[in-house]
Amino acid sequence: MLRTIFLLIALLVLIAIGLVATGLINLNREGDGTLSVTTSDVKVGTTTTEVELPAVRMEDRKVEVPSVVIEGDGQEQANQQ
């Protein structure tokens, strides 16, 4: 139980460090010793943008593939793809 609490506290500390490091939260110390916290605005949405997509097309080709021929006991088996 105690380990779980310490793990959650450590996780919250890591999240706070990440937010400060990325600049989403700014910690400012004033001249009189007070601490002010400012946060950045985050906007979530979608935009329409023109992008280039690769064209994929299917076609049949004849290519050489490896084959195995096993000879023995008077029987010949060929594995061709």
Q: Give the tokens for residue 65.
A: 């593939």
In terms of DSSP bridges, do strands 25-29 and 35-39 run parallel, antiparallel, or are they unpaired? Answer: antiparallel
What tens digit of pLDDT does each residue of 18-58 get?
Answer: 888 887 888 887 778 777 878 777 788 898 999 998 998 98
In terms of DSSP bridges, do strands 75-79 and 25-29 run parallel, antiparallel, or are they unpaired? Answer: unpaired
Q: Model pTM greater than 0.75? A: no
Confidence at residue 72, expressed as pLDDT on a 0 to 100 scale: 72
Whose tokens are 């004033």? That residue is: 30
Range with the lowest mean pLDDT among 5-19, 47-61, 66-80?
66-80
* Domain coordinates in residue numbering, the chain: 1-40
Helix residue ranges, H only, the chain = 2-22
